[in-house]
Amino acid sequence: MSDNSLPPVPQGASSVPPLPPVPPVSAPPVPPVQGYPGSPQFPSQPQFAQPQFAQPQPQPQPQPQPQFQPQPSARRSRKGLIIGISIAAAVVILGGAGLAIAGTSISSSVAPDTQVKTFLQDLVDGRAESALEVMGEKPSGLLTDEAYNASANHITDFSVGKVKTTGDTAVVTAKISQGGTSYTQEFELQKAGKTFVVFDVWQLQPLPLGVVNVQVQGPEGLAVQVDGNDVEGSESGLRAFPGDYEVSVVDDSDLFDAEPATANVVGLSDEAAGSIATAAVTTTLTEAGTAAARAAVDAFVDGCVAQQSLAPTGCGFQARAQDGVTYSNIRWTLTVRPTYSIGDWAGNGWAVSSATAGTLDVLADSVDSAGRSGPSGTSLPNYRPAGTVSVVDGAITFTSSVLPF
């Protein structure tokens, strides 16, 4: 018969029965991770051993694989920041470059040599009034677009040298071509303030310029024209830019003709060779004028002959009286009329000289100191009137140059 009693508990042992074994805990399957070549491979499902009450041994743990998933928000934010900074930097750089370019352009536009180039190019292009504006002057006389463009032989080319600056003064030397002539010209400029605070502004100083010296060898009061344009102040000279200027007079008389003259102005300074150009307009009597001149001299001589005086006033001839004799009923007779030659203009008229001499006879009643009376007379065989003829109020007049006795 079996014994159902429990065996005795060994001394020192617990009376609590041992725990039943714990079943293994199942975990959801973990998908396999594709490893990189050479990386350790781990089982797809971890194995859990039955818990033991012995000293635990460290188990290898699966290492997390590096994740190379893109981080859109962070990278996009960083990229946007970089682009923003790049754009800002580009704006600053381009802005700085723009300022530098603008500054260079402004500085160049007001530089001394630029003013000289602008002035000379205006003359090459026929803009006389613009050139005057660069010098700070206003149009007048021959210094107008109309007068300048009516002339010829202008400046055709130029080159500008380096600028020499001393304090507030700058000097620019240019080589200028005018027709077949070349010459150098110095230009002086003065500082005239600043633009945009920092850039010096230079003002070209007025040039003396060349001068057209008009001389009209003809009657007073004739209107002067230069290249068909009326001008004033010709008696004191007319400032002009380089060029050839044709000077003429307005003449509606049939007594004389006026020949135009050309003034060749070379250079921009009154010190330059050829810059003071004289245009002498000459006048000559026409056939009608020559005939009128001879008639005027004849009228003068006839007037002298008509005077009942031994020494006609202003005529240049006389008969000498004897001492103690009184003369009356004095009569001059032109027995041989002189002939005349009419020459060029001579200061205040066309010169008149005698081609052949005339002869004058004089008769008078005389009474001497003793009371004896009777006719007296003499002859002047070499009478040569001389002087000038001119046009006054549309008519030719003669002025004698022979000194009175």
CA diameter of the chain = 239
Share of the chain above pLDDT 70, in %: 69
Closest CA to 252 of 215, 277, 225, 234: 225
In whole angstroms, give the CA distance from residue 401 to residue 389: 11
Higher-confidence residue of 283 and 103: namely: 283
What digits encode the pLDDT tens for the residues 320-369?
A: 999 999 999 999 999 999 999 999 999 899 999 999 999 999 999 999 99
Question: Which value, to the nearest 10 degrees, does the dihedral of the CA atoms of residues 89, 95, 101, 104 take?
Answer: -110
User: Domains of the chain (ranges plus CATH)?
Assistant: 113-192+200-204 (3.10.450), 210-283 (2.60.40), 287-400 (no CATH)
Q: How confident is the model at residue 303 (pLDDT cuts 50, 70, 90)?
A: very high
244-282 as b/e: b if 16+ CB within 10 A: bbbbbbebebebbebeebbbbbbbbeeebeebbbebebb
DSSP state of 137: -
Assessment of whether the complete model's pTM goes beyond 0.75: no
Q: Around Cβ 143, how many Cβ atoms within 10 Å? A: 20
CA distances from 145 to 91, 209, 265 (A): 47, 16, 17
In whole angstroms, give the CA distance from residue 284 to residue 62: 130
pLDDT attached to residue 41: 46
pLDDT attached to residue 207: 92
In whole angstroms, give the CA distance from residue 129 to residue 389: 43
Average pLDDT, integer, range 13-32: 48
What tokens were used for 216?
């009209």
Q: What are phi and psi of 74, to 5 degrees?
A: -65, -45
In whole angstroms, give the CA distance from residue 153 to residue 92: 53
What tokens were used for 186?
């110095």
pLDDT at 81 over 70: no
HSE (CB half, 13 Å, CA atoms) of 41? 6
What digits encode the pLDDT tens for the residues 133-161?
A: 999 999 999 999 999 999 999 999 999 99
What tokens were used for 109?
């536009």
Q: How big is the CA angle at 176 (ends 171 and 182), to the nearest 5 degrees?
A: 125
Q: Which of 18-32, 200-214, 287-301, 327-341 bottoms out in mean pLDDT, i.e. has the lowest?
A: 18-32
pLDDT attached to residue 403: 72
Average pLDDT, integer, range 197-220: 88
> How do strand 169-178 and strand 181-195 relate by DSSP bridges?
antiparallel
What is the sign of the dihedral through the CA atoms of 224, 229, 230 and 233? negative
In whole angstroms, give the CA distance from residue 219 to residue 256: 10
